[in-house]
Amino acid sequence: MSELADQAAAALGGSEPFVLRGVAAHWPVVEAARQGDRTVLDYLKRCAAPGEVEFSLAPPTVEGRFHYAGDMRGFTFVRRSGPLTTFLDALGAAIDDPQPPAMAAQGILADTAAPRFASENPLPLCPGEGQARLWIGNRARVAAHSDPADNIAYCAAGRRRFTLFAPEQAANLYLGPFDPTPAGTPIAMTDPLDPDLERYPRFAAAMDAALVAELEPGDAVYIPYGWFHHVQALSSVSMLVNYWWRQPEPGGSPWDALLMGMMTLRQLPPNARRHWQAMFDAYVFESNGPAGEHLPPPARGILDARSPRDLEAMRAALLRKLSGQGPR
């Protein structure tokens, strides 16, 4: 591992994004990208496996924005599938088109879709359990969204611009529906390239606090768990390799807890909401320290439930209660 990668490994898992310049500059795909768009496409075709991949297409009129349609009943793009080589040929055919459709094969598994690519371009950093995924396309852009995992995104070809928003900016991004979503996670209705501050006035605060990172081939960006990121491909042929790794969730899904909170707390009167907001702050997020530390250990009970055994007991009790079998 290079000295740069060593330094980065020590910083991973932190709460702030950072850029790694040239950390993957030695990759064969980066060398192919330096020689031009068609060279990198030829290299990827030599690496492609025979199976099919899913990809998305959007008309030139949406200017590369993969998002909801105007009536919110569908999306600005359609999904198709076919051999990776066929998709790469379509990218090549659109290089000289002044107004090409936006094309993107997003999140395809490197080991499955291009095993040779995976072996010839090993990731400099694999901090936790995960898999390398490929994002290949032209000048497409993905709305700001967050992932429940830490992420390293390597720019392999073309240029990419990341606009990053801290988790605290969630309300200022005006997230869209939780279901359906374009790719499984809620996306921002706001657009950094065309801000509509009359409709989304709080977005100005998000943009004031945003971080922007522009990556060249060989560069990477670390995106911590839960940071929102708008991703814009700036080249006729663009490729990103990303690696998500999840932190353990021993108590179950935080997303499920959010939905449960929306169901049980949102309709309460203001005085009750005030009470439960304070209770969550003290007992869930422990803003003032461990919730039961003022009690002797034998008396703490579920206030100090942290072991797998204790959490499983809590989960079982909750399931009984939700099914009507336990006390209310």
- DSSP state letter for 62: G
Strand, helix or coil for residue 152: strand
**CB neighbourhood size of 191 (10 A):** 16
Give, in order, the Cα–Cα distances in Å from 123 to each of 28, 96, 238.
12, 32, 18
Tell me the per-residue pLDDT of 150-209, one tens digit each, with 9 for 90 and over.
999 999 999 999 999 999 999 999 999 999 999 889 999 999 999 999 999 999 999 999
CB within 8 Å of 131: residues ≥ 6 apart:
109, 110, 111, 243, 244
* DSSP-assigned beta bridge partners for residue 233: 160
Per-residue exposure over 262-275, b if at least 16 CB sit within 10 Å of its own CB, e if not? eeeeeeeeeeeeee
11 has a pLDDT exceeding 80: no
327 has a pLDDT exceeding 60: no
From 238, 224, 231, select the one nearest 18 (Cα to Cα): 224
Looking at residue 184, its pLDDT comes to 86
Task: Give φ, ψ of 91 to 5 degrees.
Answer: -60, -45
Q: How confident is the model at residue 1 (pLDDT cuts 50, 70, 90)?
A: very low
Tell me the per-residue pLDDT of 93-141, one tens digit each, with 9 for 90 and over.
999 999 999 999 999 999 999 999 999 999 998 888 889 999 999 999 9
Looking at residue 49, its pLDDT comes to 97
Tell me the per-residue pLDDT of 286-308, one tens digit each, with 9 for 90 and over.
999 999 899 999 899 889 888 88
Looking at residue 155, its pLDDT comes to 98
Looking at residue 58, its pLDDT comes to 97
Looking at residue 319, its pLDDT comes to 85
Looking at residue 204, its pLDDT comes to 98
Cis upstream peptide for 254 (omega within 30°): no
E-only strand ranges, the chain = 18-20, 52-58, 65-66, 78-83, 102-109, 132-137, 141-145, 150-157, 160-165, 211-215, 220-223, 228-233, 238-245
Q: Structure pTM?
A: 0.91
Strand, helix or coil for residue 167: helix
Q: Domains of the chain by range and CATH? A: 3-245 (2.60.120.650), 254-322 (no CATH)
Looking at residue 286, its pLDDT comes to 94
Mean pLDDT (the chain) is 92
> Which range has the worst mean pLDDT, 2-16, 34-48, 202-216, 245-259?
2-16
